């Protein structure tokens, strides 16, 4: 059968194209513009080519921030994914407790980012914070404002507190979709608890876990608000992650050229890693079908 060709259909996607142009493409192009030019004010621009990119690629400051960023994302993924699965496995399956658990789990996700930062900033303070005072009272030398290690711990615990729920809720949804017959068959086959997890639950959760890991990677790689509120990137530069560094450069120092080059590379890195991650996972999936 011949398909009808009607080029007027293109007009129907025009509104979307216009919206995307104004919301994404044009702002992105101004960033590209800054990245390729230098300016000394008066709206005068001088073409510098790839100079800013070269400067950024070789910048130690950026390398350090990238290293911290990768370490941070790796740590929170390593904690949140297993912990989220563990919580999901132990949540009640039905009844009033299940609803209550779901609401409790969803609460941290509903709190605005800067409020989360503020909560932990106060919570951890040694003079008035519940956590800080308690630790101090217990004789633990804890102070996130001058000890880099304590600052890291605080930022990581805060992220785990804020986002493990997301992983847990996704994993819970994946678990709930497993038909009862699978568990019954496993009992008939005398499968151990570990086998049930390894051969039934984990494979059935794979799809949602892939999404959970992808979301948590992207979010944690772009994290800004919470550590900025708690530590402001300090002490020193110890918790200065990529986006905090970017804002310092663009807004603090007003180095628009390098910052623009930085943000373009930042964007490409996230895009690349997400794409690689997704492709690898879906390829693994397809290979298993063979």
Partner 1 sequence: MARITLGDLAHSYLANPAGEDDFALKPTTHVWEDGGAYALLGPSGCGKTTLLNVISGLIRPSRGRVIFGDRDVTDAPTADRNIAQVFQFPVVYDTMTVRENLAFPLRNRGRDAAYVAARVQAVAKMIGMEGALERKARALTADAKQKISLGRGMVREDVNAILFDEPLTVIDPHMKWELRTQLKALHRDFGHTMIYVTHDQTEALTFADRVVVMYDGRVVQVGTPKELFETPAHTFVGYFIGSPGMNLFDARIEGGEAHLGGGSVALGARYGALAGRTRIGIRPEHVTLGAGGGLPVAIRRVEDVGRHRIVRAEGAFGPINIMVPEGTPIAADATRAVFDPGRISVYADDWRVAPEAEGR
In the complex, which residues of this chain contact partner 1 (CB under 8 A)?
179, 181-182, 184-185, 187-192, 195, 199-200, 203-204, 288-290
Minimum CB separation from partner 1 for residue 205, in Å? 11
The CB-of-177 to partner 1 minimum distance in angstroms stands at 13
Report d(CA 165, CA 88) in Å as an integer.
9
Q: C-beta of 189: minimal distance to partner 1 in Å?
A: 4
In angstroms, rounded to a whole number, what is the distance separating the alpha carbons of residues 117 and 110? 13
**Is the CB of 30 or the CB of 184 nearer to partner 1?**
184
In the complex with partner 1, the residue whose CB is nearer, 45 or 199, is 199
Q: Which is nearer to partner 1, 44 or 289 (CB)?
A: 289
Residues 6 or more apart whose CB falls under 8 angstroms from that of 256 comprise: 34, 39, 250
Least separation in angstroms between residue 278's CB and partner 1 is 20
Nearer to partner 1 among residue 207 and residue 232 (C-beta): 207
Q: Are 241 and 65 in contact, with CB atoms under 8 Å apart? A: yes
Task: CB nearer to partner 1: give 183 or 224.
Answer: 183
Whether cis (ω within 30° of 0) applies to the bond prior to 68 is: no
Q: In angstroms, what is the minimal distance from the CB of 200 to partner 1?
A: 7
Q: 88, 81, 76: which is closest to 169 by C-alpha?
A: 88
Is the dihedral angle over the CA atoms 202, 162, 151, 71 positive or is it negative? positive
Phi-psi region of 148 (alpha: psi -120 to 50; beta: other; left: phi over 0): alpha
Instruction: For residue 193, give the 3-state DSSP assignment.
Output: helix
Tell me how far, at minimum, the Cβ of 197 lies from partner 1, in Å. Answer: 12
DSSP state at residue 2: P
Residue number with CB closer to partner 1 (33 or 184): 184
Cα–Cα distance measured from residue 159 to residue 120, given in angstroms and rounded to the nearest whole number = 10
């Amino acid at each position: 059968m011949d398909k009808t060709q009607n080029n007027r259909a293109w007009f129907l996607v025009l509104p979307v194209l216009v919206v995307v142009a104004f919301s994404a493409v044009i702002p992105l192009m101004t960033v590209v513009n800054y990245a390729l030019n230098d300016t000394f004010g008066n709206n005068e621009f001088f073409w510098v080519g790839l100079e800013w990119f070269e400067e950024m690629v070789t910048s130690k400051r950026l390398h350090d921030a990238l290293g911290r960023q990768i370490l941070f994302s790796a740590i929170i993924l390593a904690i949140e994914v297993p912990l989220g699965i563990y919580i999901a496995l132990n949540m009640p399956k039905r009844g009033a407790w299940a609803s209550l658990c779901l609401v409790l789990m969803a609460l941290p996700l509903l709190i605005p980012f800067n409020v989360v930062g503020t909560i932990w900033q106060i919570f951890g303070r040694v003079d008035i914070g519940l956590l800080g005072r308690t630790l101090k009272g217990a004789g633990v030398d804890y102070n996130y404002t001058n000890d880099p290690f304590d600052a890291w711990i605080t930022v990581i615990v805060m992220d785990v507190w804020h986002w493990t729920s997301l992983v847990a809720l996704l994993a819970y949804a994946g678990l709930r979709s497993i038909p009862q017959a699978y568990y019954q068959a496993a009992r008939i086959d005398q499968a151990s608890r570990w086998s049930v997890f390894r051969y039934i639950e984990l494979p059935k959760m794979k799809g949602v876990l892939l999404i959970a890991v992808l979301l948590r990677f992207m979010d944690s790689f772009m994290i800004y608000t919470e550590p900025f509120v708690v530590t402001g990137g300090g002490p020193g530069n110890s918790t200065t992650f990529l986006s905090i560094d970017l804002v310092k450069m663009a807004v603090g120092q007003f180095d628009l050229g390098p910052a623009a080059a930085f943000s373009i590379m930042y964007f490409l890195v996230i895009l690349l890693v997400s794409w690689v991650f997704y492709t690898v996972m879906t390829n693994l999936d397809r290979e298993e079908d063979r």
